[in-house]
Amino acid sequence: MTAYIIRRLLLIVPTLFVIMLINFVVLQFLPGGPVEQVIAQITQTGPGITERITQGQSGEVSLPAGDAGDGGPSGYRGAQGLDEEFIAELERQFGFDKPLHERFFLMVGNYAVFDFGDSFFRDEPVVDLILDKMPVSISLGIWSTLLIYLVSIPLGIAKAVRDGQRFDIWTSGVVVVATAVPGFLFAVFLLIVFAGGQYFSIFPLRGIVSDNWEELPLGQQILDYLWHMVLPTISMAIGGFAALTMLTKNSFLDQINQQYVVTARAKGLEDKRVLYGHVFRNAMLIVISGFPAALVGMLFTGAVLIETIFSLDGLGLLGFEAVFNRDYPIVLGTLYFFTLLGLIMGLVTDLTYTLIDPRIDFESRET
């Protein structure tokens, strides 16, 4: 097993390299890059911004709040009348004065030691931005994924045991309806009903903690945090029940029809012992395989609208704004981090397989 783990860890390096190469190349062909963004803002704001850019003490391009988010045209339209030396200085500050391959390998070398550089428009290190937004995204991702698994697995087992019965039919209808409702729309509904919109004022309207959270005792801090997480977590999880519930049901149905189950029942074993002592371990393998992808998906891709609706400043919103503003260090830095996390969690999934069922031997499968 040790040799298998080492090979998987070594495989992460070329996989990560190829993924970063593809995304780096794609970003170079996107219109409206950071230089064009700045030029567009200069033409809209006036020549006064030129001095603030060229005289920035940090050496990075620094725009006033809100300047970087208005977008800009593709190409250098709007640069008419600007000094060519000023444009060349912009390219130097953004690092675009170097050849493409040199920029890529410089980025790879820095990323190998987790140096993601500084944001183009936020004037902060990308690592600091990621660490600052991480608690919100981790909270949403972990709680939403746990809620989905805690509901879907028991529900899927119950549906498998009662396959074709009234319970199975009704719960299937509920699951399908819940999946059809967009998460952001359900979030708005929860806010209107339970957060002081028109009916009840039970849960907070925004934020991950209260303004006076640091002044509260530890016990009240935990309760305050959980209180704020209820509505965002439910909104994030509402669309994830169907696939996992049906996967659990079908996996259990497949195992229930196996010969070893028939034999165990013929020996007089109780249904619960057969279900949880024999079927559960085999049926859960395929369910566990989707956990890393579900968690990473919740962390990185599924929270943009939810974070916006509940005023949660997390990685989803950070990544969306970075793509919109062509803030390449943030885009590539967060991509590198979550790709690495996903690859490592894939290995963790394989190790979990062996803990649940020691009969699985990845080492022997490769020989």
| Residue 358: per-residue pLDDT | 67
| Residue 212: per-residue pLDDT | 83
Q: How far apart (Å, rounded) are the C-alpha atoms in residues 281 and 241?
A: 21
| Residue 185: per-residue pLDDT | 84
Q: What is the largest CA-CA distance in the chain?
A: 89
Q: Summarize pLDDT for 267-279 with one digit per residue, the tens.
A: 777 777 777 777 7
Report yes or no on whether pTM surpasses 0.75.
Answer: no
Q: How far apart (Å, rounded) are the C-alpha atoms in residues 298 and 141?
A: 5
Counting runs of H as helices and runs of E as strands, what totals does the chain give?
18, 0
| Residue 15: per-residue pLDDT | 92
Q: Summarize pLDDT for 233-278 with one digit per residue, the tens.
A: 888 888 778 778 888 888 888 887 777 777 777 777 777 777 777 7
* Residue 71 CA: distances (Å) to CA of 34, 180, 333: 9, 33, 21
Report which of residues 35 and 356 the model is more confident about.
35
Q: Summarize pLDDT for 147-173 with one digit per residue, the tens.
A: 888 888 888 888 888 888 899 899 888
Provide the angle, in degrees to the nearest 10, between the axes of the packed helices 241-256 and 280-288: 150
Q: Summarize pLDDT for 32-51 with one digit per residue, the tens.
A: 777 777 777 776 655 444 44
| pLDDT reading at 355 higher than 80 | no
Residue found by looking up tokens 């087992």 in the block: 157
| pLDDT reading at 54 higher than 60 | no
| Residue 364: per-residue pLDDT | 60
Report which of residues 317 and 12 the model is more confident about.
12
The two structure tokens encoding residue 185 = 């729309």
Q: How far apart (Å, rounded) are the C-alpha atoms in residues 78 and 245?
A: 54
Contacts (Cβ under 8 Å, ≥6 apart) of 85: none
| pLDDT reading at 119 higher than 50 | yes
| pLDDT reading at 97 higher than 90 | no
Q: Summarize pLDDT for 297-347 with one digit per residue, the tens.
A: 666 555 677 887 887 888 877 877 888 888 888 889 888 888 888 788 878
Residues 111-131 as b/e (b if ≥16 CB within 10 A, e otherwise) read: beeeebbbbbbbeebbeebbe
**Nearest C-alpha neighbor of 195 from the set 177, 207, 211, 181:** 207
Long-range contacts of 342-349 (CB under 8 A, 24+ apart): 342/292, 342/293, 342/296, 343/12, 343/15, 343/16, 344/12, 345/291, 345/292, 345/295, 345/296, 346/292, 347/5, 347/8, 347/9, 348/292, 349/288, 349/289, 349/291, 349/292
Mean pLDDT of 96-102: 82
CA 212, 214, 218, 224 torsion-angle sign: positive
Q: Mean pLDDT over all residues of the chain?
A: 77
| Residue 28: per-residue pLDDT | 80
**CB atoms near residue 151 (< 10 Å):** 16
| Residue 197: per-residue pLDDT | 61
Q: How far apart (Å, rounded) are the C-alpha atoms in residues 228 and 205?
A: 8
Q: 79-83, 118-122, 172-176, 237-241: which has the minimum mean pLDDT?
A: 79-83
